[in-house]
Amino acid sequence: MRLFKQYVGIPLLLLFLMLLDGQISTLIASFLPISFHLVCHLVLIFLLFISVEVSDVTAFTIFLVIGILYDAYYFHVIGIATLLLPLLSVLVNKYNTIMMGNKITRFLSVLILVFLFEFVSFLLANLVSLTSMEISIFIVYSLAPTMVLNSLLLLLLQPVLEKVLFMI
């Protein structure tokens, strides 16, 4: 049963969450002024919590595939998430014991993961001319609201995730 969960259940859950991220982001954006761009990152939140469930190689492989699909679905250019998601999974698996230490370190770890993904994605998109946005505009209208949104999502989901994942 553990093998099924590790090799089928978790990848399917992450695929579903990747698609749900876009829907949540679109729903929230419909209620906000047009200048704000929030991005939901349930995949990154779950990356931290599933790091205790899967091996390093499995996590890397899963997030490589999710990265390719993420790029194709959101960026329409293969490369940004394909590079970042596996690297973040390696980072999480390497420092898993520190990141999962308590609620505060889990909260800060998710903020760091979201920040790294968003900021490096912006830099790479700027590098390959996918965006021409100024960094100050990006920080105020995209990065900061995204960090707030994902902080709130983590505060809502953390008790449930702790019960579900630490009881198994």
What digits encode the pLDDT tens for the residues 49-61? 888 778 889 999 9
Q: Tell me: pLDDT of 166 over 80.
A: no
pTM: 0.89
| CA dist 14 → 24, 38, 61, 131 (Å) | 15, 20, 12, 27
Cα–Cα dist 58/52, whole Å: 12
CA dihedral of 150, 151, 155, 159, whole degrees rounded to 10: 60
Name the 3-class secondary structure at 131: coil
What are the tens digits of pLDDT across the range 77-105? 888 999 999 999 999 999 888 888 888 99
User: Which residue type, as a one-letter code, is found at position 124?
Assistant: L
* Cα distance between residue 116 and residue 110, in whole Å: 10
